[in-house]
Amino acid sequence: MKRIKIPVHFYALAAMLFWGMSFIWTSGLLEFYQPVTIIFIRLLISSAFLFLLMIVSGRFERIRREDLWLLLGSAVFNPFLYFLGENFGVKFTSATVSSVIIATIPVFSPVIAWLTFREKISRLNIFGIFVSFSGVAVMLVSRDLSFSGEGKGVLALFGAVMSSLVFSVFLKKLTQKYSPVTLVAWQNIIGALLFFPLFLIFERNGIKAVRLNYHIISSFLFLSVFASSLAFVFFAKTVKEIGISKANIYSNLIPVFTAFFSFFLISEPFTAQKIAGIILVIGGVYLSERNKPS
């Protein structure tokens, strides 16, 4: 039986869909828990899911000693620093605004990719990046030209952006040696261990006051399985196939998914301004994916 090859762009789109939805799931959980608690629990569930998947499928991989520091470095930047910035950003801004700021990753990623791997990018690709980023700006700036977001939340989110860019460099190197499932499983368990002291010191008592319900349980499962597991596996596959710059371009689609589902699930307004921004974002991603430089 011939094995069907799934296009890399499907993996990229699925990853952005799950990450777009993650802002909505996180926003709901922040009504009950503090950011570190949310991250710690989702990473524990995610790593357990991925290790079980590897064991059942017979594809368990051990990390070689010479790669341990590289793996630890990747986990420090993502999930540890990235999730700190993202969750505190969502806490102090809206789900859509948070996703819009995260979508600025492609603006900076070509520089990182050129500095570290000498990845080439054409003028049309660069033009597409700026068209897409202009769509992000349209969605972020209010009609009175004010900025939609609290300063500390925005600062935290841009910290997440920088962490994601550095993480991409580690990821590019590691995907040449290990499968995406292996990498994400080990990165998430290391991330959980890094968050554990923060959880014990600052938020341990808060978890006792919350009574579990269907909304909380389902949100944690969705975050863990889809956003912290499958999305990162799919993104790792994308980086391996098309490189850092072109993989990160898809990040501009995150606010599109977030804005769309926020309207239906948590009643965030879906205005003409957001629609215009979405059109620009999609157009920019299309241009960025054309004429791949050799």
Q: Does the pLDDT at position 281 exceed 60?
A: yes
Q: Report the distance separating Cα 102 and Cα 15, nearest Å.
A: 14
User: Residue 93, SS3?
Assistant: coil
Q: What DSSP assignment string belongs to 22-72?
A: HHHHHHHHTTTS-HHHHHHHHHHHHHHHHHHHHHHHT---PPPGGGHHHHH
- Over residues 28-40, the mean pLDDT reads 93
* Beta carbons within 8 Å of 58's beta carbon, 6+ residues apart: none
Q: Does the pLDDT at position 292 exceed 70?
A: no
Q: What is the pLDDT of residues 229-264, one digit of tens each?
A: 999 999 888 888 888 777 877 887 888 898 888 888
User: Residue 147, SS3?
Assistant: strand
Domain extent for 106 = 8-288
Q: Looking at the domain assignment, is residue 134 inside a domain?
A: yes
Q: What is the pLDDT of residues 154-212, one digit of tens each?
A: 889 989 989 988 898 888 889 889 998 999 999 999 999 999 999 999 888 888 778 88
Q: Looking at the domain assignment, is residue 94 inside a domain?
A: yes
Residue-level length of the chain: 294
Q: Return the pLDDT at 279.
A: 84
Q: Return the pLDDT at 290.
A: 64
Q: Looking at the domain assignment, is residue 177 inside a domain?
A: yes
Question: Number of folded domains in the chain?
Answer: 1
Q: Looking at the domain assignment, is residue 56 inside a domain?
A: yes
Q: Which tokens in the block code for residue 76?
A: 């420090």
Q: What percent of the chain has pLDDT over 70?
A: 91
Q: Does the pLDDT at position 94 exceed 90?
A: no
Q: Return the pLDDT at 26.
A: 93
Q: Return the pLDDT at 263.
A: 84
Q: Report the predicted TM-score, pTM, of the whole model to 2 decimal places.
A: 0.82
Q: Looking at the domain assignment, is residue 293 inside a domain?
A: no
Q: Looking at the domain assignment, is residue 3 inside a domain?
A: no
- Angle of the 151-174 helix axis to the 105-117 helix axis, nearest 10: 40
